[in-house]
Amino acid sequence: RNIPVAKETASFKPEFFKQYEETEEYLNVSPLIENVVLVDPAKTVQMQSDFSAIVGVGVDVVKNKIKVRDCVGLRVFPDELYAQIFAMAGRINAKVIAIEVTSLHEFIMFPIRNWMMSRSDRFYELVELHARKSKAERVGALSSFYRTGQIEHNRSACRLLEEQLVWF
């Protein structure tokens, strides 16, 4: 959006981003790591529209860490979005796909369920995420997790996410 952010007052600073390398531990299904795909779909596909975001995370219950394993931001038509969602779920061995449904609700959930039933080789638990606060408040709330090192990024997949957070 071309809005300058003073480095000293920024919520997210580059030094807050902890990196990790993907290992077999995350590629294989482990009872100690819950892999989830989070989806924030855009309402439209015009050039000035927001990106649809698909983020694959692994929640490590032993180390109390959230690993951002994969992250994509796209301007795509709905069928392409569904394909990307299920492709990521397969890549990270997710069992759950959580979709933000704010103002879209059945306009997003029904087609995703339909896609899964007709085109996916696996079935996932689909969870509706209802936003309680503004997007800025929700993103800002992540800052403390980054400051304490509880969120780590897959070195090879999170450059775009880090760029957006620094400009938040």
Dist CA 51 CA 72 (whole Å): 9
For the chain, give the percent of residues with pLDDT over 70: 85
Mean pLDDT of 3-29: 76
Beta-bridged to residue 73, according to DSSP, are 53
φ, ψ for residue 20, nearest 5 deg: -145, 165
**So what's the pLDDT on residue 50?**
80
Q: 104 falls in which pLDDT band (50, 70, 90)?
A: low
Query: Alpha helices, DSSP H only, in the chain?
Result: 24-27, 78-91, 106-119, 135-140, 143-147, 159-166
Which one-letter amino acid corresponds to residue 30?
S
Helix (H) or strand (E) holding 111: helix 106-119
CA-nearest of 1, 71, 74 to 41 is 74
DSSP string of 7-31, one letter each residue: GGG-SS-GGG-EEE---HHHHS-BT
Q: What is the pLDDT of residues 17-42, one digit of tens each?
A: 999 988 766 666 567 889 999 999 98
pTM: 0.86
Helix, strand, coil tally for the chain in percent (to 5): 35, 25, 40
Q: CB count, 10 Å around CB of 144?
A: 11
Q: Is the pLDDT of residue 4 over 60?
A: no
Is the pLDDT reported for residue 2 higher than 60?
A: no
38-94 per-position pLDDT tens digit: 999 987 766 556 889 999 999 988 888 999 999 999 998 889 999 999 999 999 999
Q: What's the CA angle centered on 37, arms 31 and 38, to 5 degrees?
A: 130
Question: What is the pLDDT, as a whole number, of residue 49?
Answer: 67
Q: What percent of the chain has pLDDT over 90?
A: 58
* Averaged pLDDT for residues 92-114: 86
Q: What is the mean pLDDT of residues 8-16?
A: 84
**Residue 131 contacts residue 100 (beta carbons within 8 Å):** yes
CA separation for the pair 147, 99 (Å, rounded) = 26
Averaged confidence pLDDT in the chain: 87
| Structure tokens given for 117 | 């039933």
